[in-house]
Amino acid sequence: MSFRTLWFADGALHLLDQRGLPARAEVVTVKSAEETARAIREMVVRGAPAIGCAAAYGLALSARAGEDFEKARAALLSARPTAVNLRWALERMAAVRPRAFEALKAEADKILQEDLEACRAIGRHGAALVPEGKGILTHCNAGGLATAGYGTALGVVRAAIAGGKRCDVFAGETRPWLQGARLTAWELLQDGIPVTLLPDVAAASLLSSGKIGCVVVGADRVARNGDTANKVGTYPLALAAQAAAVPLFVAAPLSSIDLRAASGREIPIEERSAEEVTHLLGQRVAPEGVSVFNPAFDVTPARYIAAIVTERGVARPPYQDSLAALAGA
Ligand code: MRU
């Protein structure tokens, strides 16, 4: 990949500021858990595995900054509620002894490295599912920008193309924060992978056109039964894919699988500010006084998901059994 999403150097965590992309590739540097939690909340860094990695470094930084460990952990955990990677990473960090900077930083390095390896393995497993000569449609950004690098859904795209498959890549713009238009398009073009951008509302027409061989998306949290929370707009995409008989694959590391949640009903869904919907590029487009419904994620029922691709292999329905087997539970 031609860019770095997050890295630790000179006693601080450096984050490629995703709010400014693609116009500005600036870096935000954080030196405490409090600053890390703010960066996660404000989407300097976003995407489930990437925020797990950032939170791990944030907790390491808390030891350096002299912050109270439990308060730091609580601040990081509450930064964003839906991606389970945050809880997963913080639980791993909390088990580290001694709770000293060097030991905590070493664990955060491991989490980052493991995520990178998981993405590469997801890419390998997922590439085998990609039909030759057809389009791949993705949503949001589940790429190197959303992970330690390489990506989950975009890891599948990268691996399929690197393996010689001919497939055109299509990305939905992903209203309202435009992760597809701003981030997926940017990161694929940075790596020389052509991509066609479409408004989210055009996805059903594209799927019914016969051009698309599969839909590949990431996940913020997969429940035990396979119900999957991902960027809002994934669920309607799954319905349209089902209607067009196109398989939808979820690509996610085991750190995104929450075996403690029995179904999607137990997944908390983040609601974000009204301004994300009422404004475009800082300009108001909806009238003053309008009410707004702005969930950041939706839950796709497991019955619409053809397979869940993890670093340990591909889970197929019934997910209750296949996910538990892959997770070794
Ligand atoms: O609100 P975001 O941009 O953090 O949402 C990200 C997504 O929904 C991704 O698809 C998901 O985290 C998977 S990233 C590999």
Each residue's pLDDT expressed in tens, for the chain with a length of 329 residues: 789 999 999 999 999 999 999 999 999 999 999 999 999 999 999 999 999 999 999 999 999 999 999 999 999 999 999 999 999 999 999 999 999 999 999 999 999 999 999 999 999 999 999 999 999 999 999 999 999 999 999 999 999 999 999 999 999 999 999 999 999 999 999 999 999 999 999 999 999 999 999 999 999 999 999 999 999 999 999 999 999 999 999 999 999 999 999 999 999 999 999 999 999 989 999 999 999 999 999 999 999 999 999 999 999 999 999 999 999 97
Shared domain check, 306 and 197: yes
Tokens at residue 136, please? 């791949």
Question: CB–CB of 235/269 below 8 Å?
Answer: no
Ligand 1 pocket, residue 116 CB under 6 Å: no
Q: Residue 45 has what pLDDT?
A: 98
Query: Helix, strand, or coil here: 328?
Result: coil
Query: Helix, strand, or coil here: 77?
Result: helix
**Where a domain ends, among 119, 149, 168?**
119
Shared domain check, 72 and 157: no
Virtual torsion, Cα 126, 127, 128, 134, nearest 10 deg: 120
Number of independent structural domains in the chain: 2
Ligand 1 pocket, residue 147 CB under 6 Å: yes
Q: Residue 1 has what pLDDT?
A: 79
Shared domain check, 89 and 19: yes
Ligand 1 pocket, residue 152 CB under 6 Å: yes
* CATH number of the domain bearing residue 171: 3.40.50.10470
Shared domain check, 53 and 168: no
- Is 43 a domain residue? yes
Shared domain check, 130 and 222: yes
Alpha carbon distance 304, 148 (integer Å):
28
> Among residues 10, 115, 191, 220, which one is catalytic?
220
Ligand 1 pocket, residue 230 CB under 6 Å: yes
Alpha carbon distance 172, 138 (integer Å):
7
- Is 235 a domain residue? yes
The contacts of residue 183 (CB under 8 Å, 6+ apart) are 18, 21, 22, 141, 143, 145, 146
Q: Residue 2 has what pLDDT?
A: 86
β-pairing verdict for 279-280 and 283-284: antiparallel
Alpha carbon distance 206, 214 (integer Å):
12
**Where a domain ends, among 66, 97, 119?**
119
Q: Residue 20 has what pLDDT?
A: 97
Ligand 1 pocket, residue 127 CB under 6 Å: no
How many Å lie between the centroid of ligand 1 and the Cα of residue 230? 6
Q: Which residue has the tokens 């016969």?
A: 210
- Is 207 a domain residue? yes
Shared domain check, 130 and 114: no
Give the pLDDT confidence of 131-144 residue by residue, as tens digits: 999 999 999 999 99
How many Å lie between the centroid of ligand 1 and the Cα of residue 231? 6
Give the pLDDT confidence of 247-294 residue by residue, as tens digits: 999 999 999 999 999 999 999 999 999 999 999 989 999 999 999 999
**Cα-flanking dihedrals φ and ψ of residue 295, to 5°?**
-75, 135
Among this protein's residues, is 220 annotated catalytic?
yes
- Is 1 a domain residue? no
- Is 131 a domain residue? yes
How many Å lie between the centroid of ligand 1 and the Cα of residue 119? 14
For ligand 1, pick from 1, 231, 258, 300 the residue to mutate: most ligand atoms within 8 Å of CB.
231
Residue span of the structural domain in which 153 resides: 124-327
Question: CB–CB of 271/80 below 8 Å?
Answer: no
- Is 218 a domain residue? yes
Shared domain check, 155 and 241: yes
Query: Helix, strand, or coil here: 71?
Result: helix
C-alpha distances in Å from residue 209, one per residue of 115, 157, 204, 244: 36, 21, 9, 9
